[in-house]
Amino acid sequence: MADRKLPVARKALETIKPYVPGKPIEEVERELGIKNAVKMASNENPLGPSPRAVVAMQELVHKVHLYPDGSCHYLRGKLADAVGVGPDQIIVGNGSDEIIKLLAETYINPGNSAVMANPSFSEYDFAVNLMGGECRQIACVDFKHDLESMAKAITPDTKLVFICNPNNPTGTIVTKTEVGAFMSRVPEDVVVVFDEAYYEYVSHPEYCSGLEYVKKGFKNVIVLRTFSKIYGLSGLRVGYGIAHPELISWISRTREPFNVNSMAQVAARAAIDDEEHVALSREENQKGKELLYGKFEEMDLPYWPTETNFIWVNIKTDCRPVFQAMLREGVIIRTGDIFGFPEFIRVTIGTEEQNQRFIRALTKVLGK
Contact in structure between 96 and 73 (CB atoms under 8 Å): no
pLDDT tens-digit map of 304-361: 999 999 999 999 999 999 999 999 999 999 999 999 999 999 999 999 999 999 999 9
Mean pLDDT for the stretch of residues 282-292: 98
Query: Is residue 43 located within the same domain as residue 125?
Result: no
- Between CA 119 and CA 116 the distance in angstroms is 9
Element (H, E) at 195: strand 191-195
Contact in structure between 212 and 198 (CB atoms under 8 Å): no
Query: Is residue 209 located within the same domain as residue 220?
Result: yes
Mean pLDDT for the stretch of residues 277-281: 98
Residue 23's pLDDT is 75
pLDDT tens-digit map of 52-65: 999 999 999 999 99
In a domain, 16, yes or no: no
- Between CA 20 and CA 229 the distance in angstroms is 18
In a domain, 15, yes or no: no
User: Which structural domain range is residue 342 located in?
Assistant: 21-48+276-366
Q: Is the confidence at residue 368, as pLDDT, over 80?
A: no
Query: Is residue 292 located within the same domain as residue 219?
Result: no
Alpha helices by DSSP H, 139-234: 147-152, 176-183, 211-215
Q: Is the confidence at residue 2, as pLDDT, over 70?
A: no
Query: Is residue 171 located within the same domain as residue 281?
Result: no
Query: Is residue 224 located within the same domain as residue 165?
Result: yes
Query: Is residue 306 located within the same domain as residue 338?
Result: yes
In a domain, 354, yes or no: yes
Give the length of the chain.
368
Contact in structure between 187 and 154 (CB atoms under 8 Å): yes
Mean pLDDT for the stretch of residues 291-302: 98
Half-sphere exposure of 148 (CA within 13 A, CB side): 3
% of the chain surpassing 90 pLDDT: 90
In a domain, 310, yes or no: yes
Q: Which of 221, 253, 273 is the last residue of a domain?
A: 273
Query: Is residue 237 located within the same domain as residue 293?
Result: no
Q: What is the CATH number of the domain that holds 349?
A: 3.90.1150.10
In a domain, 8, yes or no: no
Residue 97's pLDDT is 97
Q: What is the CATH number of the domain that holds 179?
A: 3.40.640.10
In a domain, 311, yes or no: yes
Question: Which residues, at least 6 apart from 353, have a Cβ–Cβ distance to it below 8 Å?
Answer: none
Half-sphere exposure of 51 (CA within 13 A, CB side): 6
Question: Which residues, at least 6 apart from 192, have a Cβ–Cβ distance to it below 8 Å?
Answer: 160, 161, 163, 183, 186, 210, 213, 218, 220, 221, 222
Q: Which of 219, 239, 273 is the last residue of a domain?
A: 273
pLDDT tens-digit map of 94-146: 999 999 999 999 999 999 999 999 999 999 999 999 999 999 999 999 999 99
Q: Is the confidence at residue 46, as pLDDT, over 90?
A: yes
pLDDT band for 7, please (50, 70, 90 cuts). confident
Q: Is the confidence at residue 242, as pLDDT, over 90?
A: yes
Q: What average pLDDT does the structure give for the chain? A: 95
Query: Is residue 319 located within the same domain as residue 268?
Result: no
Query: Is residue 229 located within the same domain as residue 314?
Result: no
Query: Is residue 281 located within the same domain as residue 261?
Result: no
Query: Is residue 160 located within the same domain as residue 267?
Result: yes
Q: Residue type at 46?
A: P
Could you tell me which of 342, 259, 356, 273 has the C-alpha nearest to residue 81?
273
How many folded domains does the chain comprise? 2
Q: Which of 273, 291, 325 is the last residue of a domain?
A: 273
Could you tell me which of 246, 277, 286, 241 has the C-alpha nearest to residue 259?
241
In a domain, 25, yes or no: yes
Query: Is residue 74 located within the same domain as residue 219?
Result: yes
In a domain, 14, yes or no: no
Measured from the Cβ of residue 9, the count of other Cβ atoms closer than 10 Å reads: 9
